[in-house]
Amino acid sequence: MDSLRFCNPKTIKEDNAIELLIDIVLLSFLVCIAFAIVRMKDLFAVIMLAGMYGLLSASFFVTMDAVDVAFTEASVGAGISTLLMLTTISMTGRYENTTRHRPMLALVVVFVTGSLLIYGTLDMPYFGSAQAPIQLHVAPHYINNSMSEIGIPNIVTSALASYRGFDTFGEVVVIFTAGVAVWALLMVNVQRRKNTEIDDANNSTHEQHFIVRFVAKMLIPFILLFALYVQFHGDYGPGGGFQAGVIFAAAIILYSMVFGLNTARRVISQPIVQLLTAAGVLLYGSVGIVSLLSGGNFLDYNVLSADPIAGQHLGILLIELGVGCTVASVMILIYFNFSGRKNDRELEEHKETT
Amino acid sequence: MDAGNDWAAAFFGLYNYWIVVVLMMVGFYIVIAHGNLIKKIIGLTIFQTSVFIYYISMGNVDGGTAPILADNISQYSNPLPHVLILTAIVVGIATTALGLALAIRIKESYGTIEEEIIQGMDNPG
């Protein structure tokens, strides 16, 4: 066991004192924010804190060398999730009740579980140890052989799209299913209302914010371009379909926030977004089927081209495209449905009062 | 002297995992003790993020760098946890959105998202 405990405090002090300090400070901030979230009753403040929590954990992932993960967490945790929660509380109310469900019993359960878990950590190999079991099994194969087997520098992309392509296919299907479920739950009949009625309401609120509209118009092309860069440069640097999809969706969501949902629906029609949601999953699946038909295993890209490395490149490009397509359109679909539901209810309330 | 060093090594070597446990328990407490459904979902996200931090911390190697192959670098952090967590984050937001959508529908049907009031309406008396 002791041989696993690789780092001794001497090396900590000399080599990575700064890294360790940043690590401890970031993690302590996370704990402070988590306790603040427990204490606060105002859900608006809680959601803002949750956004900060997302951004801080993204910074933490950067210090842990997980650049791809940090990228995703920054766009999801600090961006999209904050936005969806804000839209939700605008419909469900801003303050939570002060009553707690058996707080003492909950505290006891939490303390007992927590102590057992901490007791469990005492046997773990120390943080950063190169001899820990996790570092000795599959990872060395990926690190040593991915360049000759897959031929792209970003090992995370090699593992995500090729070695563990089947896993990723499952994840994409889960995202697709969640998107369809949200759509089924919140679907409003878009045709039911005359567009002019909603446009009037939108124009009155959106015309006031000239600076916001101007800045958004300037930024959106660059955000879209950046999303495409992340999509197609994912083989060589941090990035790939998941991050690109979320960033692309963020640009469209920004547009529909600033210019109104109906204007956005005129630019990007919802039926096309729904079609793209399924198209991404189908593209991913068909790459698998094609490799089956060409005599390989499911999602074995070596057979896609005469040269195995070229086949891997082609396969990864296609499935990343499928992932990007599905993720972006599911995020857009989710936002459209949340925001459409909100508009619909506001209109109904407006009608009831007049 | 050696005992002191051992304690320091244990503290710095396990600090990340202890923080993970604390965050996980904070999320767990919110889920079981708070009645507001939105707050519960936020509790679940905290719980979920603590697992992400756990995986990423385990993948870190002293003196390693981001797992993107480059010349003159011999030590990389473990890419496998990164792959698992990267996809988990995006799946997490999709399922969170599903939870929020359910909360909206519950609000529309019951007029509230406080668990105890909803239970009272379901089982009157």
Q: What is the DSSP string of A81-102?
A: HHHHHHHHHHHH-SB--S-BSS
CA atoms within 13 A on the CB side of A304: 24
pLDDT at A206: 59
Q: H-type helices in chain B, by residue range?
A: 2-33, 37-59, 79-110, 115-122
pLDDT, average across residues B33-39: 92
Burial (CB < 10 A; 0-12, 13-18, 19+), residue A136, is: exposed
What are the structure tokens assigned to B56, written together? 């990423």
A57 neighbourhood in chain B, CB within 8 Å: 49, 52-53
What are the residue boundaries of the structural domains of chain A, listed by start?
Answer: 1-97, 128-354
Q: Tell whether B25 is within 8 A of chain A (Cβ).
A: yes
Q: Which residues of A touch B44 (CB under 8 A)?
A: none
Cα A56 from Cα A206, distance rounded (Å): 32
Domain range enclosing B102? 16-122
Is there a contact between A77 and A55 (Cβ–Cβ < 8 Å)? yes
Q: 3-class SS at A40?
A: coil
The encoded tokens of residue A281 equal 């999953």
The CA distances from residue A293 to A150, A286, A304, in Å, are 21, 10, 10
User: A13-22, A63-72, A108-117, B72-81: which has the minimum mean pLDDT?
Assistant: A13-22
User: How far apart, in whole angstroms, are the C-alpha atoms of residue B86 and residue A329?
Assistant: 18
Give the pLDDT confidence of A167-219 residue by residue, as tens digits. 999 999 999 999 999 999 998 765 555 555 556 555 555 566 788 888 988 99
Quick check: B61 pLDDT over 60?
yes
Q: Is B75 among the domain residues? A: yes
Q: Is the pLDDT of residue A284 over 90?
A: yes
Assigned domain for B105 exists: yes
Q: Do A114 and B25 touch (CB under 8 A)?
A: yes
The nearest CA of chain B is from the CA of A20 a distance in Å of 8
Q: State the nearest Cα–Cα gap between A79 and chain B, in angstroms.
A: 11
The number of distinct structural domains making up chain B is 1
pLDDT at A260: 83
Residue B81 lies in a domain: yes
Residue among A42, A186, A79, A35 nearest B38 (CA):
A42
CB-based contact A246 B90, cutoff 8 Å: yes
Give the pLDDT confidence of B18-34 residue by residue, as tens digits: 999 999 999 999 999 99
With respect to residue B67, please indicate whether it lies within any of the assigned structural domains. yes
Calpha distance A8→A15 (Å, rounded): 11
| Digit-coded pLDDT (tens) for A315-339 | 999 999 999 999 999 999 999 999 9
How close does chain A come to B35, measured CA to CA in Å?
7
Q: Please tell me the pTM assigned to this model.
A: 0.89
Q: Is position B46 within any domain? A: yes
Find tokens 């609120």 and name the residue.
Answer: A205
Give Cα B50 distance to the centre of its chain. Answer: 3
Q: Which residues contact A186 (CB under 8 A, 6 or more apart)?
A: A337, A338, A340, A341, B101, B104, B105
Q: Is residue B68 helix, strand or coil? A: strand
Q: Choose among B25, B63, B78: nearest Cβ to A110.
A: B25
Please give the Cα distance from A339 to A347 (Å, whole number): 12
Please work out, in degrees rounded to the nearest 5, the angle formed at the alpha carbon of residue B92 by the alpha carbons of B90 and B97.
100
pLDDT above 90 covers a percentage of chain B that reads: 61
Average pLDDT, chain B: 90
- The arrangement of secondary structure in A1-97, i.e. its CATH architecture, is Up-down Bundle (1.20)
Domain harbouring B31, CATH code: 1.10.287.3510
* Cβ–Cβ gap B98/A181 under 8 Å: yes
DSSP, collapsed to helix, strand or coil, labels residue A38 as helix
Contact A101 B22 (CB under 8 A): no
Kindly state whether residue B82 falls inside one of the protein's structural domains: yes
B33 found inside a domain: yes
The pLDDT of residue A15 is above 70 = no
Largest CA distance in chain B: 73
Taking the Cβ of residue B123 and every Cβ of chain A, the question of whether any pair is shorter than 8 Å is answered with no
Q: Is B7 a domain residue?
A: no
Given CA atoms B59, A66, A316, A308 in this order, what sign does their dihedral have?
A: negative
Query: What Rg value do the Cα atoms of chain A yield, rounded?
Result: 24
